[in-house]
């Protein structure tokens, strides 16, 4: 009999996982790695938006992919199972105009029913932050596409601060290393964009490759993953960061600043990529062996083990976590009280 995919290192994880946690395969796509990034759950119609990893462009994608060195990224809308007893899904490939080489994403708008995507761009067009409606024809609009005229490197992941609507995002240089973007013209940094005022600020630097980003439930802490362990060409360096940093949010002269940078945790397998908190303040990240879970104090308390690891994931409803495993999409069902801080459902 195989061992459980739910590894417990501290009793706190047992309460999060519940008495009968489940891990189920919902969908597999052997043609390309459809489930790589984003992972945005829309409660209104019980759907999930995911972005693929890069793959060789198919014939109908060649025109747009030419500017990205023959590579493409596909956005998929996953129509999820009707209830916890079903694993039947339907996957719908969508191609909204205005999102070039999509990566991370997050719920957006007053009702959380739009998706804010990171558009990495390509060699001919700048990337940035793009809002997509979640009903056909999936209309899009760009919020920001440069830092005062200097193009971003390849916008990677994004989160919205609930209290003021400001958008925080990471911008590593992976795009240039992967051959889809021009040479970087900015450092590897974290930014904050205020849609109300259109002001954009660099908030944190000094990273190898800043990647995932999220807020603690009380918004007092920002977590940022540094995935410098892996470079855009796929090479790795065990001496480089595979790390989650925590920052306190302080206010000076009416504006937020990130202070008291500290090493929160290091992934023991692969890199900590996508990152999210639950309503209790525990920190989850997609790593080389699945989804790792740390206490608010930085102690590794448990793992949801998935062969091949997880770049990203998101919470659904009532203890659901949807895990993006490249060619596979998994559903973990935990205790109903284990809810994502972003939606709180």
Distance of alpha carbon 256 from alpha carbon 240, whole angstroms: 29
Question: Where are the domains positioned within the chain?
Answer: 6-333
CB under 8 Å to 220, separation ≥6 — which residues? 248, 249
The closest alpha carbon to 81, from 290, 322, 278, 311, belongs to 322
Kindly report, residue by residue over 95-147, the tens digit of the pLDDT. Answer: 999 999 999 999 999 999 999 999 999 999 999 999 999 999 999 999 999 99
Return the SS3 of 174: helix
Return the SS3 of 62: helix
Taking the chain, what is the end-to-end CA distance rounded to the nearest angstrom?
34
Q: 311 or 65: whose pLDDT is higher?
A: 311
The closest alpha carbon to 210, from 164, 184, 245, 185, belongs to 245
Beta strand 312-315 pairing with 22-28: unpaired
Is a pLDDT exceeding 80 seen at residue 63? Answer: no
Phi-psi map region of 156: left, alpha, beta (phi>0 left; psi -120 to 50 alpha): alpha
The stretch 258-286 carries a mean pLDDT of 98
Kindly report, residue by residue over 141-188, the tens digit of the pLDDT. Answer: 999 999 999 999 999 999 999 999 999 999 999 999 999 999 999 999
Kindly report, residue by residue over 285-299, the tens digit of the pLDDT. Answer: 999 999 999 999 999
Is a pLDDT exceeding 90 seen at residue 59? Answer: no
Vertex 281: Cα angle to 23 and 302 (nearest 5): 40
What does CATH list as the number for 6-333? 2.120.10.30
CB atoms within 10 A of CB 141: 11
Residue 2 is predicted with a pLDDT of: 52
Is a pLDDT exceeding 60 seen at residue 1? Answer: no
Q: Give me the chain's average pLDDT, please.
A: 96
Vertex 192: Cα angle to 190 and 195 (nearest 5): 150
The stretch 18-27 carries a mean pLDDT of 98
Q: Output the pTM of the full model.
A: 0.97
């Amino acid at each position: 009999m195989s061992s459980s995919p739910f590894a417990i290192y501290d009793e706190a994880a047992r309460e999060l996982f519940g008495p009968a946690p489940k891990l189920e395969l919902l969908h597999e796509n052997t043609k390309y790695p459809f489930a790589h990034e984003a992972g945005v759950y829309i409660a209104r119609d019980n759907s999930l938006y995911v972005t693929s990893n890069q793959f060789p462009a198919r014939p109908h994608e060649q025109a747009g992919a030419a500017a990205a060195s023959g590579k493409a990224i596909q956005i998929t809308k996953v129509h999820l199972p009707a209830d916890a007893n079903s694993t039947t899904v339907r996957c719908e490939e969508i191609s909204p105009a205005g999102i070039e080489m999509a990566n991370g994403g997050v719920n957006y708008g007053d009702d959380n029913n739009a998706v804010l995507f990171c558009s990495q761009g390509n060699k001919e067009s700048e990337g940035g932050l793009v809002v997509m409606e979640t009903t056909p024809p999936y209309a899009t609009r760009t919020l920001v596409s440069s830092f005062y005229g200097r193009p971003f490197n390849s916008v990677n992941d994004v989160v919205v601060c609930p209290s003021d609507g400001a958008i925080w995002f990471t911008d590593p240089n992976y795009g240039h290393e992967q051959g889809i973007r021009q040479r970087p013209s900015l450092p590897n940094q974290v930014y904050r964009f205020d849609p109300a005022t259109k002001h954009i600020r660099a908030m944190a630097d000094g990273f190898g490759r800043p990647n995932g980003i999220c807020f603690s439930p009380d918004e007092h802490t920002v977590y940022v993953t540094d995935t410098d362990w892996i470079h855009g060409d796929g090479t790795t360096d065990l001496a480089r960061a595979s790390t989650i940093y925590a920052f306190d949010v302080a206010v000076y002269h009416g504006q937020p600043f990130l202070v008291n940078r500290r090493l929160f945790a290091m992934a023991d397998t692969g890199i900590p990529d996508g990152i999210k908190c639950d309503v209790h303040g525990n920190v989850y990240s997609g790593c080389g062996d699945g989804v790792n879970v740390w206490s608010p104090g930085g102690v590794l308390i448990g793992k949801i083990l998935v062969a091949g690891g997880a770049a990203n994931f998101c919470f659904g409803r009532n203890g659901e976590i949807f895990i993006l495993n490249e060619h596979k999409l998994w559903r973990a069902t935990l205790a109903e009280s284990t809810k994502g801080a972003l939606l709180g459902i």
